[in-house]
Amino acid sequence: MKRVMGYCDRWSAAPGETVRFMVSCLDTDSYEAQLVRLRQPDAGPEATKFEPLPIAASLNGAHSGRYQPIPAGSFAAVPAHPALAPKGSFSLCAYVYATTPAKGRQALISTWCEKGQNGYALELDAGAALTFRSTGTLVSTGVPLRERHWYFVAASYDAAAGTVTLHQEPIAAHDFHPERAITITRAIGAPTQPLHPLIFAAHSDGATEHASAWGGRAFAHHFNGRIDSPRLAAAALDRAGLAALAATPLASTLATEIIAAWDFSRDISGEAITDLGPHRLDGTIVNLPTRAVRGWNWDGSETNWTHAPQQYGAIHFHDDDLVDANWASDFSYTVPEDLRSGVYAVHLTTPDFDYYVVFFVVPPRGTARSKTAFLASTATYTVYLNNRGRFLSTMTERYQGRVTTMDWIDALLIEFPEMGLSTYDRHTDGTGVAYSSRHRPLQNFRPTGRHWNFNLDLFIIDFLEKLGGDYDVITEEDLHTHGYDLLKPYQVILTGSHPEYDSADMLDAFETYLRRGGRMMYMGGNGFYWRIAHHPTRDGVIEVRRAEGGVRAWDAEPGEAFHSFTGEYGGLWRRNMRAPQRLVGVGFISQGFDKCSYFRITDDAKNPRAAWMFDGVEGELLGDFGILQGGAAGLEIDAADPKLGTPGHALVVGRSENHSNTYELVAEEVLIPHGATDAVINPDIHADITFFETGGGGAVFSTGSIAYAGSLGWNGFDNTLFRFTTNVLTRFRDPTPFPDPA
């Protein structure tokens, strides 16, 4: 099969700005490209016909292509320097914590070049034992390291004696494992010492020696686990000397012997590694290994790394980390001044395959072309990118109650695991994925395939197109950067179906907008749930720490709940005293994926403050139909809760009912789990359609359900939910102020 895949360098582009596209071909050397505007998802015969609108562009037509590999796996690199190739005796040491010690050969500290078979390295061998490698030499302790346990490891080469001594010593950690320190000495030949970079957690192939090219190099034997306090000295140190070398602050007795002493507890929020030694052999991390993790000396007295960085001097490397595929650009597109704001994609095709590379055209910076804006949930899209767990988890089919469906694009992710992971996945060593990036080929950010997040949000775009297409598209990525100024020009903001992830800057912008008279239509469920952090220098890179509660695929390790990018406490916004009920009146209460239900109109609908919503709406039910499992209330649902901040004057105009018992209370609502909850219908499990005024003439409308958007276009938009939602949007577009709730 001739296949093609790609990505672009930015998701948000205003007129005059240029988007670059990176493409890789599989079993072909050519493909076609066509720019299109997306107006609806590919959702089958019951939905609006899938008809992307072709757009004239110079990029359209045939392109020559080639295969571009993806350099997955993290490491840290120090550029080549003469001091890294000592001519005589030397010693190197570190604290290490291996998370998959038995997976095979893994590098720890290395100038070793696989291509030239020269340099030196401290590594784990195929049997998980500490090993020293140099030209023609392999010396191992022969005893495997235990998984997830700290060790002090060291190698001392004595040039005069022609020997190397290895030290492999477990660190006591509140346990009673019967393990002793190991020290062995063996005769070896003199290491060949070409001028190579020094690499932590991988071996280099020696293809290039320049730090700017790290992303394009080939690396092998990636280490899974943590490295803390690595050191290098120009002397064959005994055990006491190694203790002095590993000490912090550096021992003055070794002032003339120290070559380098890297302190990973510095610049935790960035990508540099700092050397405190005389040569200042600073380096950089590559592919974003996890920082702000417990070091070998963490004692539990402080869980905030910003208060005790010296106890967070470790970096956790993974063989499947990826922050940027580093592909070469194939073509670009500069947005014309007259191009309408909207959702766009470059459609890549071969005779056998098609692939969409999506981006958003936003209004000219600092302006608006409509009074209505759809806010694309780019933060949530990012953290879900390339969710392998959907296919590989044994639980997916159980809680969905059906066989998982896949297409050929889904199959790409299984065939090419180097495409990287989502924050819903675990690394190969079982640790949770804390970082996600959009700078790589993407499997689930497209208008086809499963109806979830971006794909499902196109139902809302379809709704706006049905009403005449008077809207701008803006993005959460820009919201984080520009704050309230991005929202200020708009009369009404519509969210996506699942705006689950938000930074503090994003929530602050929403609050300011609403306090100053803005109107928000929260068009989904499980929104404003997790706190995130954006990378301080890289666009499109987001961090999640899943701390203390919440429905989650993994939970943060002890002492690791604070984001490395910002130092902010992670986890649920609810645990940060900013539950979603405070912002939009409702918050996450339950999820289920077997079927969706409906809303029953409540007595609050008769209140004159809300009765206008129901003009032309007949019957007692809303959304007892839909493309997503048959109804508008389901998948993930939200409910009002005054205890968590739902305003006292909020009206619940619709409440769902009759959910199956696969819908259970979210984890943060359950204090004492009990099996009986599986056998009864819990009255607390329902979705609430909510409305309230915010002061200053503003208001909030919340649907309380991810599935809601999938019912808007039912029966060619001839349905009560469409009329009801249209009434809300029409009133929210009307500049007449809403009454002050006070």
Residues 389 and 406 in one domain: yes
322 assigned to some structural domain = no
Residues 137 and 254 in one domain: yes
Is it the case that residue 110 has pLDDT exceeding 70?
yes
Residues 523 and 541 in one domain: no
Provide the pLDDT for residue 178. 77
324 assigned to some structural domain = no
For CA atoms 677, 680, 681, 684, give the dihedral sign.
Answer: negative
| Torsion of Cα atoms, 147 then 152 then 157 then 162, to 10° | -70
User: How do strand 203-204 and strand 688-695 relate by DSSP bridges?
Assistant: unpaired
pLDDT tens, residue by residue, 523-542: 999 999 999 999 999 999 99
CATH code for position 661: 3.40.50.880
Instruction: Kindly give the residue spans of alpha helices, DSSP state H, lying in 88-238.
Output: none
Residue 209 pLDDT level (bands cut at 50, 70, 90): very low
Residues 470 and 339 in one domain: no
- Tokens 């979705």, residue located: 687
Last residue of a domain, one of 514, 548, 571: 571
Q: Give the tokens for residue 3.
A: 């296949």
Q: Give the tokens for residue 284.
A: 């950089």
pLDDT tens, residue by residue, 343-371: 999 999 999 999 999 999 999 999 999 99
Question: Bridge-partner residues for 225, per DSSP?
Answer: 98, 317
CATH code for position 337: 2.60.40
Residues 524 and 655 in one domain: yes
Provide the pLDDT for residue 612. 97
Provide the pLDDT for residue 232. 98
Is it the case that residue 107 has pLDDT exceeding 90?
yes
Residues 495 and 479 in one domain: yes
**Cα(229)–Cα(243) distance, integer angstroms:** 12
Q: Give the tokens for residue 435.
A: 């970082």
Number of domains within the chain: 4
Provide the pLDDT for residue 211. 39
Lowest average pLDDT, out of 357-366, 433-442, 667-676, goes to 667-676
Provide the pLDDT for residue 405. 79
Average pLDDT, the chain: 94
Q: Give the tokens for residue 137.
A: 């030499």
Q: Give the tokens for residue 540.
A: 């499109």
Question: Is the full-model pTM beyond 0.85?
Answer: yes
Provide the pLDDT for residue 173. 74
Is it the case that residue 181 has pLDDT exceeding 90?
yes
More confident residue, 135 or 569: 569
pLDDT tens, residue by residue, 690-704: 999 998 999 999 999
Residue 176 pLDDT level (bands cut at 50, 70, 90): confident
Q: What angle do the packed helices 454-466 and 720-733 form, to 10 degrees?
A: 70
Is it the case that residue 175 has pLDDT exceeding 80?
no
199 assigned to some structural domain = yes
Number of CB atoms found within 10 A of residue 115's CB: 11
Provide the pLDDT for residue 213. 55
- The values of phi and psi at residue 179, to 5°, are -135, 135
671-693 b/e with 16+ CB inside 10 Å = b?
Answer: eeeeeeeeeeebeebbbbbbbbb
pLDDT tens, residue by residue, 614-649: 999 999 999 999 999 999 999 999 999 999 999 999
More confident residue, 114 or 638: 638
Residue 189 sits in which domain range? 89-317
77 assigned to some structural domain = no
79 assigned to some structural domain = no
80 assigned to some structural domain = no
Lowest average pLDDT, out of 22-26, 75-79, 127-131, 400-404, goes to 400-404
Mean per-residue pLDDT for 474-478?
Answer: 98
Is it the case that residue 467 has pLDDT exceeding 80?
yes
**Cα(5)–Cα(353) distance, integer angstroms:** 10
Residues 472 and 432 in one domain: no
Residues 30 and 115 in one domain: no
Is it the case that residue 729 has pLDDT exceeding 70?
yes
Is it the case that residue 23 has pLDDT exceeding 50?
yes
**Cα(570)–Cα(491) distance, integer angstroms:** 32
Is it the case that residue 210 has pLDDT exceeding 50?
no
Provide the pLDDT for residue 539. 96
CATH code for position 211: 2.60.120.200
323 assigned to some structural domain = no
Is it the case that residue 250 has pLDDT exceeding 90?
no
Half-sphere exposure of 309 (CA within 13 A, CB side): 12
Residues 354 and 290 in one domain: no
Percent of all residues in the chain with a pLDDT value above 90, rounded to a whole number: 86
Residues 156 and 263 in one domain: yes
25 assigned to some structural domain = yes
Provide the pLDDT for residue 253. 84
Is it the case that residue 216 has pLDDT exceeding 70?
no
Provide the pLDDT for residue 212. 43
Mean per-residue pLDDT for 596-600?
Answer: 97
Is it the case that residue 738 has pLDDT exceeding 90?
yes
Residue 678 pLDDT level (bands cut at 50, 70, 90): low
**Cα(344)–Cα(360) distance, integer angstroms:** 6
Could you list the beta-strand ranges (E) of 351-451.
353-361, 372-376, 435-437
Q: Taking CA 345 as the corner, what is the angle to CA 340 and CA 347, rounded to the nearest 5 degrees?
A: 135
Cβ–Cβ < 8 Å for 513, 482? no
Residues 350 and 311 in one domain: no
Mean per-residue pLDDT for 396-405?
Answer: 70
Is it the case that residue 81 has pLDDT exceeding 80?
yes
Residues 700 and 661 in one domain: yes
Mean per-residue pLDDT for 498-522?
Answer: 98
Residue 435 pLDDT level (bands cut at 50, 70, 90): very high
